[in-house]
Each structure stands twice: as C-alpha cells, then as structure tokens.
Structure 1
Amino acid sequence: MNELKYIVCSLLLLLACGTLTSQTTIRVLNINTRMSGQMAGYNAAPFADYIEQYNPDFVMLQEIDYKTARNGFRDFTTELAAETGYFSAFGRAIAYSQGEYGVAILSKYPIEKISNTQLTGNASEMKEMRTVLFIDVILPDTGEKVRMAVTHLDHSTDGVRQSMVQQLNVAIGTSLPTLLAGDFNAFPSETAISTGMASWKRVCNNFATFPASNPASKIDYIFAKPTDKWNVKSYQVLSNSAAITDHCAMLAEVELQ
C-alpha cells in the first residue's frame, strides 16, 4: 500500500513539474510587402502562397494599403486574411492616395484586443508619421494571453526613430509577454536600436535583410519581452522573398516559458 502511495505521489509530482515548466512554441513571420504588393501586381494571392509554406502562428506586415488609388482601392489585409484563413488587424499610420497606409497583423487565433498608436518625431526631420499596432491573443494550448506587435519606423533620422521607439515602448507596455517585429529603418548600431530597444530580447541576428535581391543592410528586426520569458529556438532571414518584395522575410520560432 505504501508503495502504491509512493507511485501515485511521484506521478502527481511529475505532472505538476510538467505544468510548471510547460512551454508554448510560437512561429512568427515578418514581411515588408513593398507598397502593399506592388511587385506582385497588388495581388494578395502570392503573399498567401508564401505565408502558407511556413505555417506561422502570426504574420507581421509592413507597407500595407487600405483602399488606396495606388492599389486599386483594395483592402489588402482582409483579402490576405481571406486567402490564408487567418484573423487580421490593420493599423493606419497616415492617410494616403485617397485611402490609408500602415501595418497589419495576421493571427491564427481569435483576437481579443486591437490597439493602434501613431508615432511622431521632430516635425522638421520626420518624413512621415508612423504607427505601432498590437493585438492581444489567448493561446489555445495554455490559455496564456500574449501581445503581438508590429511597426514600421520613419526613414528620416536616428533621432526621429529614437523618439518613435520611446513612444512605442510606452504604447506596448509591460503587462503581457510580447513579440514585436517590423521594419525599423535603423542599423543595429543606431541609438533607436542599441539604446531604445535595450530592454527587449533580440530574437533576430544581425544578418542583412535589405534589399532582398542582394542583402546588404540590417533594418528589419524581431524582439521579445520580458527577456526571461522567451527562448529563441530558431531564426532565419529568408532570401526567397525577392519575387514579391524588396525585403527579406524573417521567420522565428520562440518558446514562451
């Protein structure tokens, strides 16, 4: 009888330890779409085909048009979501070409919350206002809530980008485990990255991401916080995106611990 109790207690302990150390793996794909699909004739289908081969949980998208004259007044985000079967959110940065221009996120899982915050900098230096978009999602396997964020910073100066990074850090907050991806238009040595993103875990490496046809500059990033909640399982700069965009896509697999 004592031996049976020992076995039962041991099994319960193992189950408890398994619960305490459980991990959730998340696959994130980042794509700058180059003028909302200009290289693909503003068609969402080639992007859907590209996304589906990697089966990501979340897709972070930059340079997205919403019903602009440039893209034939198409809702690119919704079309791409319909093609892939994902949930979606669009974040407006500026009014553009009779429509809107910004960033977007695709999610395999239902979205609980959407937040979009415009980012500004020194008016005399800033070329365009930008934005940070985030969604909150409850992961189905563990029931844990996470925050997924995307941004595309202005291409003017490091000072403007540093100001935008400070604003996005406030907007995203620290209440939830968060992944942030996007086109920062900044080299790793710039203040916006080296100082502004110092509190984040670097998921990506410093391999060049632009241009896709012959990468020479590192300007696209994936970050995570808090730093002790995330383990990077793999990261790749994908060089096979040159047919649809001028940026290399990035694919990361991370564990939420």
Structure 2
Amino acid sequence: MSEPATLRVMTYNVRSLRDDAAAVSRVIREAQPHVVCVQEAPRFLRWRSRAAALARTSGLLVIAGGRGAAGNLLLCSLAVEVTHRAEVLLSHRPKTHPRGVVVAVCSLRGHRFALAGTHLDLAAAERRLHADELLDALPRSGVGADIPVILAGDFNEQREEPARRRIAAALTDTADDTPTYPAKNPVRRIDSIYADPRLRFVRSWVVGTADVMLASDHRPVVAEIDLEDRTS
C-alpha cells in the first residue's frame, strides 16, 4: 500500500534568466518544491548546461524540456521518481513564437501522477488553439487515462478568459485571484497550477519575497496537492 503523499508543485516563468539567476535559484530553494514547471528556460546558446546549472543551484534535477519543448522545463527533487518523459511542440503559425508542452510521468511515495508544463501565447487566438492541443497532447505523449494530471504554466490570460476556461473544463484550477504579473506590482493572475479532479487540492500561494522582485518579471505560484486518488 502507498504511503500518504502531498506533492508541492511550483510554476515559475524565469524570463530566460535575464535578471538575477542566483535569485531565481534562491526563490526555488526556499519554496522546497518536489517539482517545478519552468517557463522561458534557457533554450539557445549552451541551454543544456544553463538548465543543469539552474537545477543544481536550486537543489533539484532536470527531468525534461528546454529547447525541445520551446523553453518549458521540468525539475524535480530526489524524492520524485520519473518513469516517462515527452516533449511536444504545438502548432506554429508564421510570425508566432514556438509553443510546446513538456510532460513527465512521475511518482512520489508510490503515487503516480503526470506533470505537464506549458507557456501559452500572447495572442488570444493562439491560446485558444493551443489549450485544446495541449490537453490532446497528454494521451498522445504516453499519459494513460489512469494517471492523474497536473498542468502548470504561464497561460498569458486570466482565469475567466477562453483558453483557461477550456482547461478548467477538464482540470481544477488551484489558484485564487492573487495576481502574479508583473512581479514588482502584480495586477494579473496569468500563472497557475491545474490538478486532475481525482486529486485533492490542499492549498496554494503566490511567492512575494524580496528575491522574487530581483529574479524575474513573474511571481511564482506554489500548490500542495494530495496524490491520494479520491475516486479509488
């Protein structure tokens, strides 16, 4: 029988580490997450070594992602076992930024879950299209219907807008309305964590420490999710 397990998830747009990379690592370390979905991770020159350095200085390991997932990166602690990884690029129209989703099947204390990280477009039409695509990408990337999903990212819109309403029809938004962007004077909640309705949401919060103001233009979101399947 599996032990009880509460997973701590963070989602964080790190702005390509263009601000204070050391502050980014401090923010992550202080939150003590089991897993992190990073947006705007390094994806150009020396991106692999820079992603590895981010993980190392944050006390974590790289799961998957980076350039092959359009800047989406997954990190995890040693407590998490990873059994499957996938990187999926979403449809790409001319003059739009490449978008993707990075997926991993993981377990914590014997409880399996799928973790997916994404970063939706600035254009509303692209966001609506990609919301459907990323939900469809999960089964195609090797996530079985029996595995509960956690999706996190920078969605570039607030919860009442169309793409996020589409996602919320399939997954539970763990966020309240605390704003996350811009970091120094946030007015919009565009970063969030969604959980499979089979899982129990415990709590979530937006990190607002002094280091957050130095690290990026987004504030990270953290959620705790009970991995015990409520339907079993």
- TM-score scaled to structure 2, two decimals? 0.86
1:165 lines up with 2:131 in the alignment: yes
Q: Conserved in 1, the CA contact under 8 Å of 2:61 and 2:75? A: yes
> Any idea what the Cα deviations from partners look like across 1:180-224, whole Å, max 9, x if unmatched?
110011122211011243111111112211001011112111001
DSSP 3-state at the match of 1:75: helix
Residues of 2 paired with 1:46 and 1:204: CA distance? 24
Contact persistence 1:162–1:196 (CA under 8 A): no
How many angstroms apart in 2 are the aligned matches of 1:113 and 1:29? 20
One-letter amino acid matched to 2:151: L
Aligned partner of 1:79 in structure 2 is: 53
CA contact (8 A) 1:87 1:110 kept: no
1:33 match:
14
SS at match of 1:236: strand
Map of 1:117-128 to 2, 5 A cutoff? 117-120=88-91, 123=93, 127-128=96-97
1:57 Cα deviation (Å)? 0.5
**TM-score with structure 1 setting the length:** 0.78
**Quick one: structure 1 residues 187 and 84, their matched pair in 2 at CA, closer, same or farther if it must change by over 3 Å?**
closer
For the Cα contact (< 8 Å) 1:188–1:218, is it kept in 2? yes
- How far residue 25 of structure 1 moved from its aligned partner, in angstroms, is 0.4
* Cα separation, partners in 2 of 1:86 and 1:151, compared to 1, 3 Å: same
Identity score, percent? 26
Aligned length: 219
Equivalent of residue 46 in structure 1, options 23, 26, 31: 23
Distance of 2:7 and 2:147 partners within structure 1: 15
Which residue, out of 97, 101, 107, partners 1:138? 107
Contact 2:70/2:100 (8 A) holds in 1: no
Query: Of residues 193, 198, 207 in structure 2, which corresponds to 1:238?
Result: 207
| Alignment gaps of 5+ in structure 2 | 140-144
Comparing both chains, which one has the higher relative contact order based on Cα–Cα distances under 8 Å and sequence gaps of 6 or more? Answer: 2
Distance 1:196 1:250, change over 3 A: closer
Q: In the alignment, which residue of structure 2 is the partner of 1:9?
A: none
Query: Which of these residues, 42, 60, 64, is aligned with residue 65 of structure 1?
Result: 42
Helix, strand or coil at the partner of 1:53: helix
AA at the equivalent of 2:134: L
CA contact (8 A) 1:179 1:223 kept: yes
Aligned residue for 2:182? Answer: 211
1:199 matches 2:170: yes
Maintained 8 Å contact 1:65/1:101: no
Structure label with greater radius of gyration: 1
Give structure 1 stretches of 5+ with no counterpart: 1-18, 95-99
Aligned partners of 1:67, 1:81: CA distance in 2, in Å?
17
The amino acid that maps onto 1:47 is V
Task: Identify the match of residue 88 of structure 1 among 59, 62, 81.
Answer: 62
